[in-house]
Amino acid sequence: MFISPHPARRRRVLVLATAAVVGATALAACGSGEDVAAPGAGASGAAGSAGSGGITVWVDASRAPAAEAFLAANPDADVEVVSYDGSANGSDTFKTRMNLYDQAGEGWPDVVFSTQNNDASWASQATPGNEPFAAVLDDGLVDPEVLEGFTEGSLDPCTVEGQVYCLRNDLAQVVLWYDQQLMDDLGYEVPTTWEEYVELSGRVAAENPGVITGSVGDAWTPEVFMWGSRCPANQVTGPRSISVDATAAECVRAAEVIDAGVADGSLTTLSVFAPEFVQEYSEKVLMMPGPAWFAGAIFNNPDSLALPEGRLGVAAPLPWEGEEAVTGNVGGGTWFVSSHSENPELAADFVEFVTTDDAYQVEQAPGYPAYAPAAEKWLAQQEESGYYATDLSALTEAGSVIWDGWGAPAFSQEAVWADTMTPLVTAGGSVVDNLDTWGEAIRNEAQVNGYTVE
Amino acid sequence: MSTLTRTGTRPARRPTAGGAVAALVHAVFVVFFALPLLWLLLAATRSGASLVRDAPLSPGSLGQLAENWRSLVGFQDAAILTWVGNSAYYSLAALALTLLVSIPAGYALALTRFRARRTLLLTTLVVMLMPNTALVLPVFLEMNAVGLIGTAAAVVLPFSFFPFGVYLAYIYFSSSISRSLLEAARIDGCGELRLFLHIALPLSAPVVALVGFFSFVQNWNNYFLPFVMLPSSDDYPVQIGLSALLSSTPAFNPSAAGAAVIDLPTLALATIVSVLPVLLVFAFAQRFLVTGLTAGGVKG
Amino acid sequence: MATAQKAAAPLRRAAGPATGPRPGRRRASLVPVLLVLPYTVLLLAFGLGPAVYALWLSFTDATGGFAGVDNYARVVQDFRFPGAARHVALFVGLWLVLLVVLVVVLALLVHAVSRRWVGTALRFAYYVPGALAGASSVLLWLFLLNPVASPAAPLLRLLGYESFNDTIQPTNLPVVFALIAFWTGAGGWILVMFGALNNIPDDVMEAARIDGAGPVRIAWSIQLPLIRKWVTYMVILSLAAGTQLFVEPTLLSQASNAVVPNDYSLNQLAYQYAFSLADFNGSAAISVLLLVVSLGLSSVFVARGGLFDTDAS
């Protein structure tokens, strides 16, 4: 069994070859005893501030066209574009790197795009020995008229103590998406209140099992159901204070919607990005409350539900009976200008351009623009595509009724929900019965992030 | 050991049953280790829709593979190739430095006597046990202080500090070269440097292969250090590039939905591309591993 | 046999220059010092220096003033700390046993393969997963742990899991992480052990066979004692790597969109402190705590495994 695996001759050759390589190595090490020199070749300059005259801009891959559009419109501008992951998927790259640069006291980029919309909560706060990273934009850096052009409330996540620290790239307002053809075939009417929605879900579950009316398997479930119900579980009351009441009546009624739907199967507990969701529910999504980007990410996506042209309809956010409709928001990127920038005017011009100019926001942007005039043109263009069964005015309506009682604290509400509630919902537990668990988790997270909980 | 001689009556001839068990164990573990990789290989040849709709191990097509490849190199002007090139540069430079530094150090720690030997061994071990998270900030500040942030040196130099390799070399030399042999050579008048160059080095092929290989793999796969040291996307190594790709897929970054995005099969293909160099180095290095037998001969 | 006994009874020597008889005309050579010098420089710059700095951080506050044990008190009282400590302990226990037993067994089995190409192919198959790290394997595990899309679907279904979220229930996580860590990490150690086994002289093995020892007895009485140092080394490093659990939960956190939290382990918590809360002092305190635990556990193995003893003949 223990046979020597190779002939001696070959062995010697290998040994000699290796010895030659390492011999040279060892000689070098013994010969001087000095540490080896740094290989300098291939090194490129730091990607921090590009110095006077120019700016360095960090964007994610999806926003690279925005920077290109700016350069096309301003060919003389000295802009170095660096692509990074955009802090997507909880990577917190933006925050991590800024913390390091704060420690080093240098290295900050001039403009940063982030896919998160709660970065202003920390970027507006000073760290020991440093200015806050984010420059105040409404003190003259950005034209007040431009600021007023943003959809009402869209700059809320950027606003800390009345000062605007970032510009919103896009909105992700929650609307009610539905399959017009399936509605007609099954003989249902699009609901106009949450009460009707619950009733219709119950009927669907009884009459057409397997057809669903929504999903609660993703981390943004609280933004869709709780936020849209005015649940006061996330009321940021100051730069470092928050009020959490997860068992208020508004939260309970939203939790009841979730529990009823999960119990009768009309709401799926699968993530909309899970393979099993696509396999089970293609052609079986009757309706789905969800953010604006569901259209491109799920319905009109060949890798996902791939709903054919002319079927996807969109309805305005549902009100509770006797109340005005409000809605939630799931994401939407933000643009920051560095307070350390040596060229803040150019940096401000840049963020103004990419958030408002037609060349990017209308012609190329994948998401609903936060800047109202651009949004109007963007919608018109989307409608022209002929994909939708209805007009898209519901999106405009939803954009202006995002409830301002749901804050953007430094920690992620989605992560709290995903961690504490998703396993519970998956296992068939009741959300109503566990609202206090959820509230406790939020309070804990708030405290370790330095918040005073009221 | 005495028990050994007592069993002398039993002939060493049970390989049939034992061999079958061994083969079974191998079979189970080959499936365990290889099945996920098979899935990954197939995934690169499928479409995004097929990945979620078809059976897990259904093959795709060459056409789709080409399609995925086009999509991959289409991402930021073939950024993947730049990233692989960067990774190769950082890892190979660090590999050379690591070997220069670790092999002599391991030898000296194992087979020579000097004042701080034990202290050095102990410090090395303690540092190896230190969580990397704690070392990132100090190393970053050091590199910043000497103005190397954003340069290749900022990753290559810390990469070259490879205590794991020093220990490998240390254990290797101390367990495969006989101290008495060295003593005899010393008495013959052989200088310390010559001992190292003419006796230890020729026997060190297996450990050079091991240290070199592990150093290469670790540096190739290191995410956090380059993440911290290299802010510019042109300097990214492939691991950071992959996470940039990851964040361009709708499944991992819904806000990218609708833009020029990356499909999951493209990501699978990128993963395979990123792993290929490691496998090449493995294939090269593992030929030297079996030369361990030569060293055994000297042990006597 | 003699070799095995020698290796098993290492001679302990005091630190410092050897006191034994040396060839008279030569004084202590400078060469050993020169050989370790480059490494020592790197060790100071990228190991010891940063470690000392971290230690200093853990006893100071954000402005650099002395803080006593405040940082330690703060992190230990964090509501996430006890959970994270429990997660890590569970994981380390599971993983260490899995790793040590299976790596040694597999290395012995690979070493016993008589056909060269089979051995090479097996080492290759066992190693390949080690090439996949970090971002490259997020995608893989997203699918592998999904009972609908996984090649291991029948197994997952057999265990009663219907969806990805089922598979990654909190109670399953230590096992899942141990499997991921084993899948990626075992191959490298099998290589190391294989190399170590190759180092055992043929005549020792031959003598045992002539004595009539079977493969199992040879493994137990000869091969294992002779690779003891390597096993000790693996245990210590794996212990450290285990207590520093980071990669596996982080990648599942990414794959599951945070259903697996990104503060599951202590090391992740240290990371959160540093880069999410900008509290480098608290972060350093957690790291130092981890280091103390690793050191305590390791010292047991160092003492028993004879790791620092040079093999005296």
Contact B135, B158 (CB under 8 A): no
pLDDT tens column, B22-58: 899 999 999 999 999 999 999 999 988 888 888 888 8
Rounded mean pLDDT, C184-197: 89
Between vectors from CA A287 to CA C153 and to CA A193, what angle results, nearest 5°?
Answer: 135
- The pLDDT assigned to B1 comes to 35
Task: Give the residue carrying structure tokens 């982030």.
Answer: A114
Q: Which amino acid is at A454?
A: E
The reply to whether C160 touches chain B by the CB within 8 Å rule is: no
Q: Which residue has the higher pLDDT, C213 or C4?
A: C213
**Percentage above 70 pLDDT, chain A:** 89
pLDDT tens column, A202-211: 999 999 999 9
Distance of CA C249 to the CA centre of its chain: 16
What is the band of A24 on the pLDDT scale with cuts at 50, 70, 90? Answer: very low
Cα first-last separation, chain A = 73
- The pLDDT assigned to C200 comes to 83
Distance (Å, rounded) from C-alpha B234 to C-alpha B83? 8
pLDDT tens column, B112-157: 888 888 899 989 988 888 888 888 889 999 999 999 999 999 999 9
The reply to whether A73 touches chain B by the CB within 8 Å rule is: no
Q: A112 φ, ψ to 5°?
A: -130, 135
Nearest Cβ partner for C287 among B119, B130, B286? B130
CB within 8 Å: A19 and B204: yes
Contact B98, B162 (CB under 8 A): yes
Q: Which two tokens stand for residue A353?
A: 């351009």
Rounded mean pLDDT, B265-290: 86
Nearest Cβ partner for C163 among A33, A96, A276? A276
- The pLDDT assigned to B256 comes to 63
Distance of CA B12 to the CA centre of its chain: 38
Contact C259, A421 (CB under 8 A): no
**Percentage above 90 pLDDT, chain B:** 42
Neighboring chain C residues of A2 at a CB cutoff of 8 Å: 112, 114, 202, 205-206, 209
Residues within 8 A of B (CB atoms), A 403-442 only? none
Is the pLDDT at C12 greater than 90, yes or no? no
Residues within 8 A of A (CB atoms), B 74-103 only? 75-76, 89, 93, 96-97, 99-101, 103
- Average pLDDT of chain C? 84
Distance (Å, rounded) from C-alpha B155 to C-alpha B178? 37
Task: Give the residue carrying structure tokens 């000699």.
Answer: A16
Q: What is the DSSP string of chain B?
A: -HHHHHGGGS-S--HHHHHHHHHHHHHHHHHHHHHHHHHHHHHTTS-HHHHHHS-TT----HHHHHHHHHHHHHTTTTHHHHHHHHHHHHHHHHHHHHHHHHHHHHHHHHH---TTHHHHHHHHHHHHHS-HHHHHHHHHHHHHHTT-TTSTHHHHHHHH--HHHHHHHHHHHHHHS-HHHHHHHHHTT--HHHIIIIIIGGG-HHHHHHHHHHHHHHHHH--HHHHHH--SGGG--HHHHHHHHHTTSTTT-GGGTTSS---HHHHHHHHHHHHHHHHHHHHHHHHHHTTHHHHHHHH-
- Average pLDDT of chain B? 84
CB within 8 Å: B233 and A82: yes
Distance (Å, rounded) from C-alpha B206 to C-alpha A437? 56
Distance (Å, rounded) from C-alpha A203 to C-alpha A183? 13
Neighboring chain A residues of B294 at a CB cutoff of 8 Å: 11, 15
Rounded mean pLDDT, C211-222: 86
What is the band of B290 on the pLDDT scale with cuts at 50, 70, 90? Answer: low
Q: Which amino acid is at A363?
A: E
**Whose CA is closest to C226, among C107, C116, C98, C123?**
C107
What is the band of A41 on the pLDDT scale with cuts at 50, 70, 90? Answer: very low
User: Computed from CA positions of residues C221, C226, C228, C233, in that sequence, does the dihedral angle turn out positive or negative?
Assistant: negative
Is the pLDDT at A337 greater than 70, yes or no? yes
C276: part of which helix (H) or strand (E)?
Answer: none
pLDDT tens column, A266-311: 999 998 988 889 989 999 999 999 999 999 889 998 888 999 999 9
Is the pLDDT at A345 greater than 90, yes or no? yes
CB within 8 Å: B217 and C310: no
What is the band of B15 on the pLDDT scale with cuts at 50, 70, 90? Answer: low
Q: Which two tokens stand for residue B146?
A: 């000497």
pLDDT tens column, A407-445: 999 999 999 999 999 989 988 899 999 999 999 999 999
- The pLDDT assigned to C312 comes to 39
Q: Which two tokens stand for residue B70?
A: 């086009």
- Residues whose CB falls within 8 Å of the CB of residue A102, separated by 6 or more in sequence, listed in order: A127, A129, A130, A133, C278
pLDDT tens column, A56-109: 999 988 888 999 999 999 999 999 999 888 887 777 889 999 999 998 899 999
Is the pLDDT at A35 greater than 60, yes or no? no
Is the pLDDT at A114 greater than 70, yes or no? yes
Distance (Å, rounded) from C-alpha C129 to C-alpha B36? 9
Contact A60, B255 (CB under 8 A): no
Within a 10 A sphere around the Cβ of A203, how many other Cβ atoms? Answer: 15
What is the band of A52 on the pLDDT scale with cuts at 50, 70, 90? Answer: low
Distance (Å, rounded) from C-alpha A240 to C-alpha B78? 44
Nearest Cβ partner for A30 among C35, C276, C280? C35
Nearest Cβ partner for A414 among C31, C35, C258? C258
CB within 8 Å: C258 and A415: yes
CA distances from B209 to B170, B214, B276, C87, C264 (A): 14, 8, 18, 36, 36
- Average pLDDT of chain A? 87
Contact A334, A119 (CB under 8 A): yes
- The pLDDT assigned to B289 comes to 66
Distance (Å, rounded) from C-alpha C219 to C-alpha C217? 5
**Whose CA is closest to C246, among C265, C228, C230, C260?**
C265
Q: Which two tokens stand for residue B190?
A: 């052989």
What is the band of B255 on the pLDDT scale with cuts at 50, 70, 90? Answer: low
- The pLDDT assigned to B258 comes to 57
Within a 10 A sphere around the Cβ of C71, how many other Cβ atoms? Answer: 24
Q: How many CA atoms lie within 13 A of B156 on its CB side?
A: 26
3-state secondary structure of A56: strand
Distance (Å, rounded) from C-alpha C291 to C-alpha C298? 10
The DSSP letter of residue A428 is: T
What is the band of C306 on the pLDDT scale with cuts at 50, 70, 90? Answer: low
Is the pLDDT at C268 greater than 50, yes or no? yes
- The pLDDT assigned to B299 comes to 38
**Whose CA is closest to C36, among B168, B106, B190?**
B106
Between vectors from CA C76 to CA C70 and to CA C77, what angle results, nearest 5°?
Answer: 90
Nearest Cβ partner for C262 among A90, A99, A127? A90
**Whose CA is closest to C291, among A322, A310, B128?**
B128
Distance (Å, rounded) from C-alpha A446 to C-alpha A244? 9
Helices (H), A323-421: 344-356, 372-384, 393-400, 413-420
**Whose CA is closest to C211, among A1, A3, B7, B13?**
B7
CA distances from B261 to A271, A339, C253 (A): 20, 32, 21
Residues within 8 A of B (CB atoms), C 78-97 only? none
Task: Give the residue carrying structure tokens 């540092």.
Answer: B127
- The pLDDT assigned to C310 comes to 52
Distance (Å, rounded) from C-alpha A208 to C-alpha A211? 6
**Percentage above 90 pLDDT, chain C:** 41
What is the band of B7 on the pLDDT scale with cuts at 50, 70, 90? Answer: very low
Q: Which two tokens stand for residue A16?
A: 């000699």
A310-314, B78-82, C4-8: range with lowest mean pLDDT: C4-8
Rounded mean pLDDT, A134-152: 94
Q: Which residues of B222-259 are buried (b: 16+ CB within 10 A; e: fewer)?
A: bbbbbbbbbbbbebbbbbbbbbbbbbbbbbbbbbbbbb
Is the pLDDT at C97 greater than 80, yes or no? yes
Task: Give the residue carrying structure tokens 């010092």.
Answer: C33
